[in-house]
Chains A and B, each alone.
Chain A
Amino acid sequence: MSMTYSYYKNMQLNNIIFVYQGEVTADLVSSILQMVENKLEGEGEDRKVKKRVFNVMVECLQNVYHHLDALPPTDPSNPVRDKTALLMIGREEKDYYIITGNHVLNDRIPELKSRLDRINRATKEELKQLYQEILTGTGFTEKGTAGLGMIDIARKSGQRLGYDFHPVNEKYSFFSLEARVSRIPEK
């Protein structure tokens, strides 16, 4: 039990509103959205900011739900559970941040990385164009999402997306993605 206080202080220090580690199901995503929405509501956050945070949160969480590559339960680096991820939401002085972490197959890294870099290099206008091209283009990917999620996150965030691939073993890496939403509403 002696760890409890240090967990608490650590979360407080890092301005964490919410953190979850475990299996990601559709019901869980619903519950988290509801809870964080209520919290933003209760704290009287600016309406525009609240909407943007909610929007980005929806896309980030559903992105993980649709795209995480589950480690097989037998994998030595996954002794606990299959299909787990990390979801985290925090509030700093200037920004809200939404962080997700999940396993991906190493094979997918180059494609993901180049997509993220392309998004991060794009101007606001280019992101809009890219969004429209995908929207009107090729249809859904095999997992039923439109491939639009990350572009939408970047558009709503208005800031560069942070990301990292942490090698786990020869097959998997741990992919983290951070999106920020400014607390200062645009005029």
Chain B
Amino acid sequence: MRNLVIEPTSKTPKVILNSDLGIFEITGRSIPEDAIGFYRKILDWIEEYSKSPLPETVFKFQLEYFNTSSSKCLLDIFRKLERMHKNGNKVQIRWHYDSDDEDMAETGQDYQALLDVPFELVPV
């Protein structure tokens, strides 16, 4: 399948979804007014990928800021990864955050508690 790369802007993160290299990353800030519009193609890509995923999928999130409309879209991504995991695929979510950013650590913990998929908090 085609890889998806989105360059960052002042309101949207850098996205790399590369199934050839096994790189799955969303990094930067995510504060668009229209989060649904931004995340639609990412969700579509993951949906397509989940039909025949790699033996192992490690998905890295490293967000500096995100707004509440992005938070819902992030949950939608996690839910798709959770479904892959429940279907017997090896999936891991890695939530990277600035080690002195308690808010971002707490948000990671919130998501972790809501999900049934390996979800690792990685202070950097």
A1 CB to nearest B CB, Å: 36
Residues in A whose Cβ lies below 8 Å from that of B75: 135-136
Q: How far is the CA of A51 from the CA of B33 in the complex (A)?
A: 19
Stretch at the interface among A13-21, A71-79, A139-147, A167-175: A139-147
B68 touches A152 (CB 8 A): yes
Q: Does A62 contact B (CB under 8 A)?
A: yes
Residues in A whose Cβ lies below 8 Å from that of B35: 144
Q: How far is the CA of A151 from the CA of B69 in the complex (A)?
A: 12
Q: Does A54 contact B (CB under 8 A)?
A: yes
Residues in A whose Cβ lies below 8 Å from that of B113: 132
By DSSP majority rule, is chain B's interface helix, strand, loop, or mixed?
Answer: helix
Interface footprint category on B: 20 to 34
Across the interface, A135 reaches (CB within 8 A) one of B11, B34, B36, B71, namely B71
Q: Does A97 contact B (CB under 8 A)?
A: no
Q: How far is the CA of A168 from the CA of B34 in the complex (A)?
A: 31
Stretch at the interface among A26-34, A86-94, A98-106: A26-34
A51 touches B103 (CB 8 A): yes
B68 touches A148 (CB 8 A): yes
Q: How far is the CA of A31 from the CA of B113 in the complex (A)?
A: 36
Q: Does A115 contact B (CB under 8 A)?
A: no
Across the interface, B72 reaches (CB within 8 A) one of A26, A55, A140, namely A140
Residues in A whose Cβ lies below 8 Å from that of B69: 62, 140, 144-146, 148
Across the interface, A54 reaches (CB within 8 A) one of B65, B72, B102, namely B65
Residues in B whose Cβ lies below 8 Å from that of A96: none
B103 CB to nearest A CB, Å: 7
B33 touches A29 (CB 8 A): yes
Interface footprint category on A: 20 to 34
B13 CB to nearest A CB, Å: 14
By DSSP majority rule, is chain A's interface helix, strand, loop, or mixed?
Answer: helix
CB contacts under 8 Å to A, within B79-124, are 100-103, 110, 113-114
A48 touches B100 (CB 8 A): yes
Q: How far is the CA of A128 from the CA of B101 in the complex (A)?
A: 17
Q: Does A156 contact B (CB under 8 A)?
A: yes
Given A51-B65, A58-B31, A132-B110, A144-B36 contact (CB < 8 Å): yes
Across the interface, B33 reaches (CB within 8 A) one of A26, A131, A148, namely A26
B72 touches A135 (CB 8 A): yes
6 smallest beta-carbon distances between A and B, as pairs: A148-B68, A146-B72, A152-B68, A26-B33, A58-B31, A149-B68
Provide a sorted-by-A list of 18 A–B residue pairs whose CB atoms are within 8 angstroms: A33-B10, A34-B10, A47-B100, A54-B65, A55-B65, A58-B31, A59-B67, A62-B33, A62-B67, A66-B33, A131-B110, A132-B114, A135-B71, A135-B114, A139-B72, A144-B35, A145-B69, A152-B68
